[in-house]
Amino acid sequence: MQCSDTRPLLDLLADGMLEPKDCALVLDHLDSCLDCHREWNELENLRNRFRDAKEKTSMSDDLLDKISDSLGKEQHKQTFQHYLKLAPTMAAAFLLVSVLVFAWQHEYVAPSSVHSASAEILVDGLASNSDLEPVKDKSLLSQKLGYDIKYLQLAAWQMESCGIYKSATQKPIARFDFVRSDGSRAQRMSCYQAPEGTIRAGAGQSKLIGDKRVLLGSRGPLRFALWSQNGRDYLFVTALAQNVLEEIVRKA
């Protein structure tokens, strides 16, 4: 083996990249050639210096802390940027929810809260009559109300007066005041009528009377019965006993 063949292979020998057969050839040549041996020693010397340099070079103790700190800052930055990217989506979602809530309040909540009447308020309103507009001619009632009156059969009861219960927040409600004679004294009852879904009661006892599902309740000395029939809400209010009221409702 010639020196010119050996020299390029010394690096490969040092790096352990030579085949065993080539290794043996190069090592044989090194044993017999002083120049190549000197070259090999220089190479080994260089490698030793690198090995020494490697051992002596180490990072400072606080470098890992510095790296961790800067990664922490970067993490916060990325978190902030992440939420910043989400901001338009969140704003759009908030806007959508706001619009839906607004629409719901105006389309679905409003009919119940603005156009419906509380049975309790109607019962209380009997005493004052302040919101009642008397109507002398019963035939004009439907025209003034804007919807047809559907009369019920109330045997023995005489209609004393009728009128329209009005308030700014609800549909007009028809009111009829009845009277009947019970021997020594007169019995009175008032009946409200409005399109179905107009009158609601906050509390009461639900009871099936005949074929009617009736909500029964009381306000002070007065008792009331509320039910729906023929597309109308009926609210009967009287100071009579509950069993009497139930019997009236059953026959109505």
Partner 1 sequence: MNIFGNRKKHFEKLTTPLANDLFRLAMWRLGNRQDAEDVVQEAYLRAYRSFHTFQPGTNLKGWLTKILLNVVNDTLKKRLRQPDMQSIQDDSEDIELMQSSSDSLKDPQIQLTDKEIDLELLDALRRLPSSLLNPLLLRELEEMTYDEIAATLEIPVGTVMSRLFRARRLVRERLKVSNITPVKKEVADDAVQ
Tell me the C-alpha to C-alpha distance, in Å, between residue 203 and each of 28, 189, 190, 196.
Answer: 111, 21, 20, 18
In terms of CB distance, is 45 or 230 closer to partner 1?
Answer: 45
Helix 20-32 vs helix 3-14: angle between axes, to the nearest 10 degrees? 120
Who's near 216: CB < 8 A, 6+ residues apart? Answer: 204, 205, 206, 207, 223, 224, 225, 242, 245, 246
In terms of CB distance, is 69 or 182 closer to partner 1?
Answer: 69
Nearest approach, Cβ of 13 to partner 1 (angstroms)?
Answer: 12
Cα–Cα dist 232/212, whole Å: 13
In terms of CB distance, is 1 or 149 closer to partner 1?
Answer: 1
Handedness of CA 187, 190, 196, 199 (dihedral sign): negative
In terms of CB distance, is 12 or 244 closer to partner 1?
Answer: 12
Nearest approach, Cβ of 28 to partner 1 (angstroms)?
Answer: 21
Give me the torsion for CA of 100, 103, 107, 109, rounded to 10°. 70
- Map residue 103 onto helix, strand or coil: helix
In terms of CB distance, is 80 or 108 closer to partner 1?
Answer: 80
Nearest approach, Cβ of 88 to partner 1 (angstroms)?
Answer: 20
Nearest approach, Cβ of 54 to partner 1 (angstroms)?
Answer: 5
- The residues of the shown chain that bind partner 1, judged by CB under 8 A, are 8, 11-12, 15, 17, 42-43, 46-47, 49-54, 56-60, 63-64, 66-68, 70-72, 74-75, 78-79, 82
Helix (H) or strand (E) holding 42: helix 34-56
Nearest approach, Cβ of 34 to partner 1 (angstroms)?
Answer: 17
In terms of CB distance, is 59 or 203 closer to partner 1?
Answer: 59
Who's near 120: CB < 8 A, 6+ residues apart? Answer: 201, 202, 217, 219
Nearest approach, Cβ of 93 to partner 1 (angstroms)?
Answer: 20
